[in-house]
Chain A
């Protein structure tokens, strides 16, 4: 009896792990499908008599990108100054604080700008996407799209994904400038290096490759955020509570995915 129960517990546990694995693999598969379908509709939408609407993409661009500018500016400025403060503090140990620009420019452009932008967009727009699709699903709005002959991926997912793929690199470029500028302001105040000299040095140090490294990463983050938002939204079950759970999951998963991808990217590229 006792043994049977332990065995049951073990079986239950294995079953649970197995089921979670299957569910995880299923979600990843669903995400991959979503990416494939997005490109399918972008390319063949017209042939299927369902062209992707530019208006919808523009609308999403405003929601994802333009409205995020203030918060991203604030955070990029803060991070830029933080890097300057920390860099000067560290380099002072070697009396090399005038070399701080090296650390700042690479860190901002290659790491912090894409990372902070990705995290903000995951929190703002990834969650919104999951909530929107989840709500639409439980209200039968997704079914309504199907019966109206409107493919939900084309109608809901493509505009969001394309908007993120446009706006995330754009916002990253923006936070590059803001971060570098405010780091420069701090360097100027603390070390008396003129802004012009700081700018010259930064431009000299940074190559197009560094810039593209950051922007390329941010485009990958964009796909991750969109896909994770959509998959979580589409798997909502059971009412408003389910939408809340899916939203939270979407944010946690996309921020984790961003950070892990960032590390992998850095590892692969710096080899």
Chain B
């Protein structure tokens, strides 16, 4: 937690902190949801946000994606204070963000390929052929090559998630957000998605912010973990620091999930040590 350098403008072209949140307070109606959150996301890291149900993870993520208005505090994304952006600048900024939503949020009236192509179609002047090639390439990254003509309703849950990733990365975003990537998937598919997230960061150089419930998945992919508790930050640090923490709340969180995992201890250990079936490119 202490190794985080003070937030400051570095002279390099890309800011070291791609996201800087200071004293963020948000409300739904009269209810305060986030109660003064300060956190940074460093360039090229995988930041995992954890916390109990209703602790405000999704809310925080929606703010980080500039989808909601906050009550007070400041938020800088890629060096830009989002309060100071006009609509056109906000649209420009959003093109540098990719989001894989929890349920995929693919447009059901479009084919998988059209879904992935949509951001290109809307924001670039590329010709159709080029867009199709780019779409196919991104679909291959998520191992869905050849599926572009299927409708989303013809895909399995895991494939929908992967298609959502393909759409999220089609504009080569600087930051990729995912809400509960592995929710509702069986462990094997969930672990493939973890591999995919690691691949996207390593191969495409993206910063990734992931919300997840799954402790083993968090430990596998996270460079740093943020733990939210009832709208406040309980912990920010590396997975090792999290494990070493003697905070009772954090221990509860760790133990509860660890208990759930006793049935499958071997897989759990394997995942911690990275003994996973390696990602197979097509």
Complex Cα distance A143/B90, Å?
A: 14
Known: A139-B103, A140-B102, A141-B107. Is A147-B88 also a contact (CB below 8 A)?
no
Let me know if B55 is at the binding interface, CB within 8 A: no
Taking CB as reference atom, which chain B residue is nearest A59? B109
Smallest Cβ-Cβ distance to A148: which chain B residue: B119
Which residues of B68-115 have CB atoms within 8 Å of chain A's CB atoms?
A: 87-88, 90-92, 94-95, 97, 99, 101-103, 105-109
Q: How near does chain B come to A244, taking the closest CB pair, in angstroms?
A: 17
Q: What is the size category of the interface that chain B forms with chain A? A: 20 to 34
Asked whether, in the complex, the Cβ of B67 is within 8 Å of the Cβ of A140, the reply is no
A141 CA to B66 CA, complexed, in Å = 16
**Distance in Å: Cβ of A109 to nearest Cβ of chain B:** 36
B103 partner residues in chain A, CB cutoff 8 A: 139-140
Interface membership of A149, Cβ < 8 A = yes
Indicate if the CB atoms of B118 and A148 lie closer than 8 Å.
yes
Q: Are B118 and A140 neighbours in the complex by a CB distance under 8 Å?
A: no
Residue of A nearest to B173 (CB): A147
Once A50-B122, A143-B67 are accepted as A-B contacts, the answer to whether A149 and B105 lie under 8 Å apart by CB is: no
A130 to B92, CA, bound (A): 30
Assembled-state Cα–Cα distance A141/B99 (Å): 11
Could you mark each residue 42-69 of chain A with 1 if its beta carbon is under 8 Å from any beta carbon of chain B, else 0?
0000001110000000000000000000
B-contact bits for A146-169, CB 8 A (1 contact / 0 none): 111110000000000000000000
**CB-based contact A149/B101 at 8 Å:** no
Q: How far is the CA of A150 from the CA of B103 in the complex (A)?
A: 19
Closest to A147 in B: B99
Q: Which residues of A contact B87 (CB under 8 A)?
A: 48
Contact between A149 and B67 (Cβ–Cβ < 8 Å)?
no
- Across the interface, do B91 and A50 meet the contact criterion of CB distance under 8 Å? yes
B109 / chain A contacts, CB cutoff of 8 Å: 132
Contact B101 A144 (CB under 8 A): yes
Is B22 an interface residue when CB atoms closer than 8 A count as contact?
no
Q: Establish whether residues A148 and B122, one from each chain, have CB atoms under 8 Å apart when the complex forms.
A: yes
Interface residues in A, total, Cβ within 8 A: 16
Q: Give chain B residues whose Cβ lies under 8 Å from the Cβ of A150.
A: 118-119, 122
Most buried by B among A141, A143, A149: A149
Contact B105 A144 (CB under 8 A): yes
A147/B67 in contact, CB under 8 A: yes
How far apart are the CA atoms of A148 and B105 in the complex, in Å?
Answer: 12
Q: Report Cα–Cα, A141/B167, bound state, in Å.
A: 12
The answer to whether A149 and B91 touch across the interface, beta carbons within 8 angstroms, is yes
The answer to whether B91 and A49 have CB atoms under 8 Å apart is: yes
Q: Are B108 and A135 in contact (CB under 8 A)?
A: yes
The B115-161 residues at the A interface (CB cut-off 8 A) are 118-119, 122-123
Q: Shortest distance in angstroms between B176's beta carbon and chain A's nearest beta carbon?
A: 11
> Quick check: is A136 within 8 A (CB to CB) of the other chain?
yes
- Is B183 among interface residues, defined by CB-CB distance under 8 A? no
Question: Min CB distance, A49 to chain B, in Å?
Answer: 6
Q: Are B122 and A140 in contact (CB under 8 A)?
A: no
Within 8 A of B (CB), among A89-144: 132, 135-136, 139-141, 143-144
A148-B119, A149-B123 known; A140+B101 contact, CB < 8 A = yes
Name the distance in Å between B65's Cβ and chain A's nearest Cβ: 5
Assembled-state Cα–Cα distance A140/B101 (Å): 7
Provide the residues of chain B in CB contact with A132, threshold 8 Å.
109
CB-CB under 8 A from B88, the residues of chain A are: 48-49
Q: Is the CB of A147 within 8 A of B65?
A: yes
- Our pick among B91, B99, B123 for the contact of A48 (Cβ within 8 Å) is B91
Q: How far is the CA of A72 from the CA of B88 in the complex (A)?
A: 43
Report if A147-B91 is in contact (Cβ < 8 Å); known contacts: A136-B107, A141-B105, A141-B107: no
CA–CA, A150 to B123, complex, Å?
A: 9
Q: Mark A61-94, 1 if CB is under 8 A from B, else 0.
A: 0000000000000000000000000000000000
In the complex, A147 Cα to B88 Cα: how many Å?
Answer: 13
Whether A149 contacts B122 by the Cβ 8 Å rule is: yes
> Most chain-B Cβ atoms within 10 A of its Cβ — which of A49, A136, A143, A148?
A148
Q: How far is the CB of A71 from chain B (nearest CB, A)?
A: 22
On whether the beta carbons of B122 and A147 are closer than 8 Å, the reply is no
Minimum CB–CB distance for A6 against chain B, Å: 29
List the A side residues contacting B122 at CB < 8 Å.
50, 148-150
Taking a contact as CB atoms closer than 8 A, the residue among A50, A135, A136, A146 that contacts B67 in the complex is A146
Closest 10 CB pairs of A and B: A149-B91, A149-B94, A144-B105, A140-B105, A140-B101, A147-B99, A141-B105, A148-B119, A149-B95, A150-B122
**13 A-B contacts (beta carbon < 8 Å):** A48-B88, A49-B88, A50-B91, A132-B109, A140-B105, A141-B108, A147-B66, A147-B67, A148-B95, A149-B92, A149-B94, A149-B123, A150-B118
Beyond A48-B87, A135-B108, A147-B65, 11 extra complex contacts between A and B, CB < 8 Å: A49-B123, A139-B103, A143-B99, A143-B105, A144-B107, A147-B66, A147-B97, A147-B99, A148-B95, A148-B119, A149-B122
Using a CB–CB distance below 8 Å, which chain A residues touch chain B? 48-50, 132, 135-136, 139-141, 143-144, 146-150
